[in-house]
């Protein structure tokens, strides 16, 4: 049905503009065909109120999920970016990744054990050694030697802390002193 432009008043133009904006927003922002078709079939205030309410519920649920996921990631020291990257950026990929983890609960237990040991090791002063192992600059067969070096370094630091005068010790000065005192 065509209406002559002179029959439009400001209210009719406003309604037409809003309807056009709504249709554009539905086409642009709603990718789910079932939802888009439902809006087109019955574009009523009641439907939009229900959709707004559902949207608020989904938004609240999503925020609760993000909060729980962040708490889990903090507790387990999960590298969330890595976890999501292996899901290839899709919800299906994330479902597959999560299911693989659920299918192997011992992995989580082993990981939590590692996190505890890593924390204790960092607390004991072995942070550099752990970082080198984790980033691959020390291979598994070199860990024992790295541990011995790190232990020696920690002990030397503790000795210097306990005996600060030892830090001023000079091998060259000691040799010179020995040479002057020997007959």
Same domain flag for 143 and 169? yes
Question: Is 110 a domain residue?
Answer: yes
Phi/psi at 8 (nearest 5 deg)?
A: -80, 135
Range of the domain at 157: 139-183
Residue 160 domain flag: yes
pLDDT of 90 higher than 60: yes
Same domain flag for 72 and 118? yes
The per-residue pLDDT for 109 is 84
Asked if the model's pLDDT at residue 59 lies above 70, the reply is: yes
106 & 150 share domain: no
pLDDT in tens, 133-179: 888 898 888 888 888 988 898 888 888 888 888 777 777 877 887 88
The answer to the question of residue 25 being in a domain is no
> Based on the structure, what is the number of domains in the chain?
2
108 shares its domain with 75: yes
For the segment 76-90, the average pLDDT, to the nearest whole number, is: 81
Residue that terminates a domain, selected from 96, 123, 150: 123
Please give the Cα distance from 172 to 180 (Å, whole number): 12
Report yes or no on 35 lying in a domain: no
pLDDT tens digits for 113-130? Answer: 888 888 888 888 888 888
Query: Residue 2 has what pLDDT?
Result: 64
pLDDT at residue number 182: 62
Given 91, 123, 155, the domain boundary residue is 123
The pTM for the full model equals 0.47
Whether 113 is in a domain gets the answer: yes
For residue 15, what are its two tokens?
């309604």
Give me the chain's average pLDDT, please.
83
Q: Considering the domain boundaries, does residue 99 fall inside one? A: yes
Q: Is the residue at 151 inside a domain?
A: yes
Separation of alpha carbons 105 and 98, rounded Å: 11
pLDDT, mean of residues 12-20: 81
Q: Which residues contact 181 (CB under 8 A, 6 or more apart)?
A: none
Quick one: pLDDT band at residue 68, thresholds 50, 70, 90?
Answer: very high
Task: Tell me, yes or no, whether 105 and 156 share the same domain.
Answer: no
Specify whether 75 is located in the same domain as 115. yes
1-5, 32-36, 41-45, 143-147: least confidently modelled range: 1-5
Q: Would you state the structure tokens that stand for residue 151, as one six-digit string?
A: 């232990």
């Amino acid at each position: 049905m065509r209406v002559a432009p002179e029959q439009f008043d400001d209210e009719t133009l406003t309604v037409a503009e809003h309807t056009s904006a709504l249709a554009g927003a539905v086409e642009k922002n709603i990718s789910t065909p079932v939802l888009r078709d439902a809006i087109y079939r019955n574009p009523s205030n009641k439907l939009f109120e229900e959709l707004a309410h559902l949207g608020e519920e989904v938004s609240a649920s999503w925020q609760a999920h993000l909060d729980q996921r962040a708490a889990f990631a903090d507790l387990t020291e999960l590298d969330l970016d890595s976890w999501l990257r292996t899901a290839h950026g899709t919800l299906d990929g994330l479902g597959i990744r999560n299911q693989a983890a659920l299918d192997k609960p011992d992995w989580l237990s082993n990981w939590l054990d590692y996190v505890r040991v890593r924390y204790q090791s960092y607390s004991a002063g072995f942070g550099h050694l752990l970082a080198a192992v984790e980033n691959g600059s020390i291979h598994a067969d070199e860990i024992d030697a790295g541990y011995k070096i790190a232990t020696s370094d920690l002990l030397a630091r503790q000795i210097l802390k306990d005996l600060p005068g030892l830090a001023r010790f000079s091998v060259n000065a000691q040799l010179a002193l020995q040479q002057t005192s020997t007959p």
